[in-house]
Structure 1
């Protein structure tokens, strides 16, 4: 998905077209005050002074509605381009004032109104206020379709924006149609739109990935990368996003030897450029995940820490985009035995996601499931069970009962109930059935069979236990072909399972 830097550039280009001919005078006291506040990075004060300046020109200079809207946009753009959450929030009032002037002057269905709606939706997108942005994007889409038709680049752009907003909200089925329509339009536009066509493949790949259509996801990413490598420079944000997301897919299917070098290349390019901090943070997070999932939590920890620091600085303290950084950093801290630090991060993550996206968002289920693991490790098994049941219900409502992300919660629920020696087999049986049907999360499948083998052995079902452990070792051999490792990998795994049994 696109980074805030890309969004800033899009807004800057859109506004530059309508503001280039509007000089900003420093003749009045209000203007001088605005310039001083801007220089001092006092964004709220700058926005208030800008608002007063435009109103004064309307009253004293007879500024027309359209001209006032253009001036609001010009002044708002200067604040917006600071690129910080506080500056974006301050600029919002000016963009809203510009939109209101245009609607009064031109009517609700003018193309200029659609452009204002799209700009405001982009700003809200950056601020993580996705639910507020959706109706603005829908209005802009309706105007552009009516005025321009369905096959224009402007229509494709707003379809893309609407689809990505719905994706961020976890409304994956709602996101599919606008993203597919946007991609189809860009594919027909030809020369000059190669970057947009590559970006469209990236978005469709991410959508397929979360819907467990892994072959389709890989095909979309590879198609987008082929376009990007042929047409875009190595440091282009779209090209980097495609490589990053393809690596994420490889991570999901345990192809770590393919994921790690892709992410290292992306990180090296971003570090050399040094001017897109959120993209840098995301690259560090993804590389940290690949390292942790290979059992290298100590190596992953510095990447989590730096990524989280960069995300906080870029997004602000309450942005929902911060949640994956907090949650996965907590998972790493837990793996390293820093339970108090992990709990603090889990609780911060949960508070932000509920406050900004509501209790039904898929990220809530992830947070609750991970927090349950911490509670189980602390011996608080009933609390862990309760958290997992809530997480399971959330994922089933959002993704359906047969999604592999549902299976992950079922495995953890079975693990928790095994510790209490009750109601174990139903959730684990469901998890195994789901994981047997997908290529996603092969480690979780291996773990599920191992868990059932241990349960059967503990309850005297020796034949069933041997059969399940045979499946585990076969699966492990298959994974070793992808990751490397010799007999010591088997030995380490079996020793770990023995230690786990002994600790019960």
Structure 2
């Protein structure tokens, strides 16, 4: 999960361009979002200079997009640059730093470095909870930390955190349909890691239905849930269904994310392995 930073931009054109880019990211239209962000950032730099705090929201969105597409080096550069600018200007709003730290944790997690991801995530939580905040933002931070804890094998802590997050989001299930779906996805991953492939498949199907309802049937974010569901089905010996879900994940991700994106690469390896079974 990632957080967008609102920030304060210096003119309506820049605000409008950034809002458009955010919409394209939510829709999964990553190439269009990238073009919009590059244009918005170039305009802001030309007008305001390379160290202006108005650049922070655009840099943060560049990081979000880079994480989604698998351009991890560009994402890290954008996030760290945004954090550096915020710190140089006094970090007046802790929510800005907390959001960037949250996103750095998500990026490290996507890169497979759970230890670094945990460090960033806990730093973000500490900043977030240092002042009065929206409980939904704290829930988002905890949700991201829980996904990292799953990969670190801290099952008991991850389970407790995830159920706490669900309790927050279920207070308004229509508004937070996607967040509930993402949390269920992580619960399914935890069930699979702890040996309950059948239970994980049930949970992941629920997550997939909710993601489709929130995002549509072709959004790239569905890819990882389809892949994890395929793994559960393979574990149960349901090879035909596993192949079907893996193919669906491939069809959604190919041509949209980077060729070396971890989920796309995993789908290709799984497809090759399933052919021999």
TM-score, normalization by structure 1: 0.51
Equivalent residue number for residue 192 of structure 2: 292
Report 1:191-270 matches (<5 A): 191=92, 193-233=93-133, 235-236=135-136, 238-270=137-169
Q: Which structure would you say has the larger Rg?
A: 1
Greater share of helix residues, 1 or 2?
Answer: 1
Correspondence for 2:77 among 161, 166, 177? 177
> d(CA) in 1 for partners of 2:2 and 2:260?
24
Task: State the aligned residue count.
Answer: 275
> d(CA) in 2 for partners of 1:300 and 1:232?
36
Equivalent residue number for residue 112 of structure 1: 12
Q: 1:244 to 1:370 in 2, by over 3 A?
A: farther
Query: 4+ runs of 1 displaced by more than 6 Å?
Result: none
Is 1:368 equivalent to 2:268 in the alignment? Answer: yes
> d(CA) in 1 for partners of 2:204 and 2:132?
29
Corresponding residue SS for 2:195 = coil
Corresponding residue SS for 2:145 = helix
> d(CA) in 1 for partners of 2:257 and 2:112?
23
Query: How far is the alpha carbon of 1:341 from its aligned partner?
Result: 2.1
Q: Is the 8 A contact 1:282 1:307 kept in 2?
A: yes
Q: Is the 8 A contact 2:187 2:203 kept in 1?
A: yes
Q: Is the 8 A contact 1:327 1:346 kept in 2?
A: yes
Is 1:138 equivalent to 2:138 in the alignment? Answer: no
Q: Is the 8 A contact 2:115 2:152 kept in 1?
A: no
Correspondence for 1:325 among 201, 225, 230? 225
Is 1:186 equivalent to 2:93 in the alignment? Answer: no
Correspondence for 1:271 among 155, 167, 170? 170
Q: Is the 8 A contact 1:131 1:169 kept in 2?
A: no
Query: How far is the alpha carbon of 1:304 from its aligned partner?
Result: 0.6
**Unmatched segments (≥5 aa) in structure 1:** 18-109, 379-504
Equivalent residue number for residue 2 of structure 2: 2
> d(CA) in 2 for partners of 1:341 and 1:356?
24
> d(CA) in 2 for partners of 1:165 and 1:135?
11
**Unmatched segments (≥5 aa) in structure 2:** none
Query: How far is the alpha carbon of 1:285 from its aligned partner?
Result: 0.3
Query: How far is the alpha carbon of 1:156 from its aligned partner?
Result: 0.5
Q: Is the 8 A contact 1:218 1:249 kept in 2?
A: yes
Query: How far is the alpha carbon of 1:295 from its aligned partner?
Result: 0.2
Equivalent residue number for residue 76 of structure 1: none
Deviations 1:298-322 (A, max 9, x none): 2222211110000111111111111
Q: Is the 8 A contact 1:250 1:259 kept in 2?
A: yes
Q: Is the 8 A contact 1:232 1:239 kept in 2?
A: no
Corresponding residue SS for 1:356 = coil
Deviations 1:92-138 (A, max 9, x none): xxxxxxxxxxxxxxxxxx94332332122112111111122112212
Query: How far is the alpha carbon of 1:339 from its aligned partner?
Result: 2.4
Q: 1:336 to 1:361 in 2, by over 3 A?
A: same
Corresponding residue SS for 1:357 = coil
- For the aligned residues, what is the CA RMSD? 2.5
